[in-house]
Amino acid sequence: MKTANNKAWFMVLPVLLLVAINAIIPLMTVVNYSVQDTFGNNEFYWVGTEWFQEILKSERFHNALGRTLLFSTLILAIEIPLGIVIALAMPKRGPGVSICLVLMALPLLIPWNVVGTIWQVFGRVDIGLLGHGLASIGIDYNYTQDTLDAWLTLIIMDVWHWTSLVVLLCYSGLVAIPEVYYQAARIDGASRWAVFRYIQLPKIKRVLLIAVLLRFMDSFMIYTEPFVVTGGGPGNSTTFLSIDLVQMALGQFDLGPAAAMSLIYFLIILLLCWVFYTVMTSYDVDSSSGRSGGRQ
């Protein structure tokens, strides 16, 4: 019995090796850099938590974090309700279903840097359909110079690119609701809003949680599209954490601060995901422990 148990460890060795190479070793390298300083020549000096303190105090980091949080908030506030509305409006059966699904999936199939390029060209004032069109009807629009225009362009681009994901997830939740629920609602004389509030929303809650988490993580880590469209400008107005990090690590080659910032970045995402998850599933815990929700 004992020998058999020991042999079993060899079975998990390949996975351990893979995870080590994949995740643990790179992560530990970053941890290693984050507590040291270097002046080149492969010479490293122990600096402890100095880089972390510096990053957390730096105004540059605060600004980038603020911009990233604002961006994610706006993205979630637009894409989640919009996605639900579109999913509700999509046909549940018939030939329209496949047409809608294909149309919805199209933006998701385009590589991220191509999406950036499309919108970069689309928005140009001299040749872009959008930029030139707006200019010709007298609207002052220029995403390379105006902060608001740059933000609007990035947000509309992201909504165009990623709302489909929310739509598809919600749609999958909606079509899984048995027809009998709608029949019962008709018998009970429920209004359209009551059907949404008490049948559809509770039933798509789980997929909605996944949609919120995915969209939050993706938008919080967004890099390629703003890098291609605005390059972080005008000024620093669209320099999100990811762009800032790459500038620090590769542009300035400040490995120590960049590593510290990566870890802080990583912990923020982890923390916020946990918050989302806890808040959105708190209701389930509440009901299974049998606490009263009161009469509505």
Partner 1 sequence: MATITFQEIAHRYHQSKHKDAGFVVNNLSQCWQDGGAYALLGPSGCGKTTLLNIISGLVKPTAGKVLFDEIDVTDLSPQQRNIAQVFQFPVVYDTLTVAANLAFPLRNRGLVKTEIDSRVQSVLAILGLEEIANLKARSLNADDKQKISLGRGLVRTDVKAILFDEPLTVIDPHLKWELRTELKRIHQQFQHTMIYVTHDQTEALTFADQVMVMYEGAIVQVGTPQELFEKPQHTFVGKFIGSPGMNILPCAVDGSVAVVDGNTIDLQQDYELNRTGLEIGIRPEHITLSNDRGIAVQVTAVEDVGKHIVVRTKLGDHNVNIIVREGVAIPENPRIWFDPSKLNLFQNSYLLGVT
Query: Which stretches of the chain bind partner 1, using CB under 8 A?
Result: 178, 180-181, 183-184, 186-191, 194, 198-199, 201-203, 283, 286-288, 290, 292-296
Question: Is residue 200 within a helix (H) or strand (E), and if so which, with residue range?
Answer: none
Which CB atom, from 15 or from 187, has the smaller least distance to partner 1? 187
Return the structure tokens found at 47: 């600096």
Q: In angstroms, give the least distance from the CB of 79 to partner 1.
A: 24
CB 203 within 8 A of CB 173: yes
Shortest distance, position 183 Cβ to partner 1, whole Å? 5
CB 219 within 8 A of CB 71: yes
Q: Which is nearer to partner 1, 41 or 292 (CB)?
A: 292
Between residues 136 and 292, which has the closer beta carbon with respect to partner 1? Answer: 292
The nearest distance, CB 288 to partner 1, in angstroms, is: 6
Contact 185, 199 (CB under 8 A): yes
CB of 197 to partner 1, least distance (A): 8
Q: Whose Cβ is closer to partner 1: residue 89's or residue 187's?
A: 187
Tell me whether residue 5 or residue 288 sits nearer to partner 1 (CB atom).
Answer: 288
Which pair of structure tokens corresponds to residue 63? 């600004």
Residue position matching structure tokens 């039933």: 203
CA distance 285 to 277: 12
What does the alpha-carbon distance between residue 283 and residue 68 come to, in Å, rounded to a whole number?
28
